[in-house]
Structure 1
Amino acid sequence: MPVYVDREAPKLWRKICSETTIEISLLAENWKIILGGIIFQYIHGLAAHAVHYLHQPGPLLQDSGYALIPELGEDKAYISETLFSFLFFSFVLWTFHPFIFQSKSFHTVLLWCRVLACLVVCQMLRIVTFYSTQLPGPNYHCREGSKLARLPRPESVVEVLLINFPRGMIYGCGDLIFSSHMIFTLLFVLTYHKYGTIRFIKQSAWLLAIIESLLIIASRKHYTVDVVVAWYTVNLVVFFINKKLPELPDRSNASASLQFLPVSSRDKDGRNKDELHRSNNGTSGHI
């Protein structure tokens, strides 16, 4: 066993270095998209925090999901968050698996460019909807009588910009239609369904997405309409963006990755001169 590890370790290290070189090259070309997507996560968080100042607690709205799905209770609300965290971190780890495993179905940087593009569009639509109409939050800390249901008037702009992270994100109210948790969940499941390779995991991911939807309603974190709108909105956004964006390059051919490696001008000039020399001599360069 130690002999096997000693033999395979250099191969793994070379693969990690090779993948890192390729991904850094791609990141240098697409860093604006990655940075823009990351910055928009703060903008989305800021918008969700700011709408809390407009929230007015009130009686729960009539909801078909609440009538059909038993309430978990405040002490079991962590169940939906636990499942969401599992889905979130599992997807993030999977996007970096080409650095270690032999599977080369996609480039990590290009995949995240696609994911962030879909995520930003969904979040922009979400911001427009929850600012259009503020509904009384169904979550326990958003109900009448809770100290967190209303935020006191901010004393400065800095107080709003800091968004009281992470407490302000966890105990937000007013950002209902549509569910942010379902945006991430469905986007991750759709991405794995398209670029993943294990059928059982694809089926399990869809099942967990359905369970997560039911748990969000059972935890009274969102109304049923928030979850339903997320299901068709995210699917439509991903569908149209996939139509607009070019497909990710196929990495099933090992040589496909070489086109992303940086080539110096000296190499290019040398190669062009060799090709011109062979053309003038009427030879193909083969011995």
Structure 2
Amino acid sequence: MSLYIGREASKLWKRICAETTTEINLLLENWKYILGGLICQYIHGLAARSVHYFHHPGPILQDSGFLLLPELGQERAYVSETVFTFVFLSFVLWTFHPFIFKSKKIYTVLIWVRVLAFLVACQFLRIITFYSTILPGPNYHCREGSRLATLPRPDNLLEAFVIIPRGVLYGCGDLIFSSHMIFSLVFVRTYQKYGSRRFIKQCAWLVAVVQSLLIIASRKHYTVDVIVAWYTVNLVVFFVDHKLPELPDRSLGGLVLPLSKDGRMKEEGTKLMNGNSGDPVDRRSRSQANGKVNEESDNVHVDVLDGA
């Protein structure tokens, strides 16, 4: 038993090392896109914080969602954030599953390049909309009488460019459209295309709907903020996705992967796929069309080692 565990641990370690080498090579080729996407995340956060300086509390606007959904109350407002945190962490863990599981369908670096492209496009539109019209926030800390409803003017220029984590949870004015729904819908659509578990896909869309209702019930956003997010994010992802090059097909054992700017191609070895050089069951090729992977269903045989 101990010999078997030791052998499997050795295979896992080799698999992690091989995958790390490949991902580092991809990162060296795509670091500009990753860095650019992260910088844009900072700019989006800075814009959301800056609009808080111009926010003025006022009467809550008439909203059909507020009439239909009972208010959770300030003591239960954390429920919406808990659901969002679950979605966020689950997606992040899924993007790193190639380091652990034998069955590999995506590259972590390439999937995040794609995700960041979606996020940047959506957040650019979001900045334009919430700066165009600054609505009185419906959240508890944005209402009249709250000391957090308006930020005091910064004492110096440096303070204006510092994003405080607490300010992410207690921002006001950046309403149309919901940032939480941007992240959630981008994550769900990405898994819809590159994930393999049909049940998880169905659950992901259900969670996205539930989160939309919770956001309204907790009064973090008006109903219009959530509705605009649903059709805007889906349209943006649809069009941006068609402009980006398709991800390489990892379901084939002898994958050819571009790793150099001059167009030369380097082949990823079978060792990367299996953690060793001779496990034929994991070299079994599975059909994949236009970057999509086969879903698991009740009447289709799938690899039991498929972890994501």
**C-alpha RMSD of the superposition:** 1.7
> Is the radius of gyration larger for structure 1 or structure 2?
1
Equivalence map 1:56-205=2 (5 Å): 56-163=56-163, 165-205=164-204
Partner of 2:223: 224
Partner-residue secondary structure (3-state), 2:255: helix
Contact 1:25 1:261 in 2 (8 A): no
Query: Aligned-pair distance for 1:10?
Result: 1.1
Contact 2:98 2:104 in 1 (8 A): yes
Matched, 1:37 2:37: yes
C-alpha separation in 1, matches of 2:174 and 2:250: 40
Instruction: Choose between structure 1 and 2: higher helix proportion.
Output: 1
| Residue type of the alignment partner of 2:117 | A
Query: Aligned-pair distance for 1:159?
Result: 1.4
Partner of 2:283: none
Contact 1:22 1:260 in 2 (8 A): no
Residue deviations 1:133-160 (CA, integer Å, cap 9, x gap): 0000000000000000011122211111
C-alpha separation in 1, matches of 2:27 and 2:182: 25
C-alpha separation in 1, matches of 2:148 and 2:211: 25
Partner of 2:13: 13
| Residue type of the alignment partner of 1:237 | V
| Residue type of the alignment partner of 2:181 | M
TM-score of the pair, normalised by structure 1: 0.89
Query: Aligned-pair distance for 1:258?
Result: 5.8
TM-score of the pair, normalised by structure 2: 0.83
Percent pairwise identity: 70
List runs of 5+ in structure 1 lacking aligned partners: 268-287
Closer, same or farther in 2 for the Cα pair 1:24/1:64, shift >3 Å?
A: same
Query: Aligned-pair distance for 1:255?
Result: 1.2
Residue deviations 1:34-77 (CA, integer Å, cap 9, x gap): 00111111111110000000001100001010011111000000
| Residue type of the alignment partner of 1:222 | H
Partner-residue secondary structure (3-state), 1:255: coil
| Residue type of the alignment partner of 1:45 | G
C-alpha separation in 2, matches of 1:259 and 1:36: 21
List runs of 5+ in structure 2 lacking aligned partners: 267-308
Partner of 1:238: 237
Partner-residue secondary structure (3-state), 2:242: helix
Query: Aligned-pair distance for 1:2?
Result: 2.2
Contact 1:22 1:257 in 2 (8 A): no
Residue deviations 1:7-26 (CA, integer Å, cap 9, x gap): 11111111111111111111
Closer, same or farther in 2 for the Cα pair 1:175/1:108, shift >3 Å?
A: same
Closer, same or farther in 2 for the Cα pair 1:259/1:120, shift >3 Å?
A: closer
| Residue type of the alignment partner of 1:40 | C
Poorly superposed stretches of 4+, deviation over 6 Å:
none
Q: How many residues align?
A: 264
C-alpha separation in 1, matches of 2:132 and 2:243: 28
| Residue type of the alignment partner of 1:77 | A
Contact 2:37 2:116 in 1 (8 A): yes
Query: Aligned-pair distance for 1:3?
Result: 2.3
| Residue type of the alignment partner of 2:240 | I
Partner of 2:212: 213
C-alpha separation in 2, matches of 1:195 and 1:51: 36
C-alpha separation in 1, matches of 2:256 and 2:213: 42
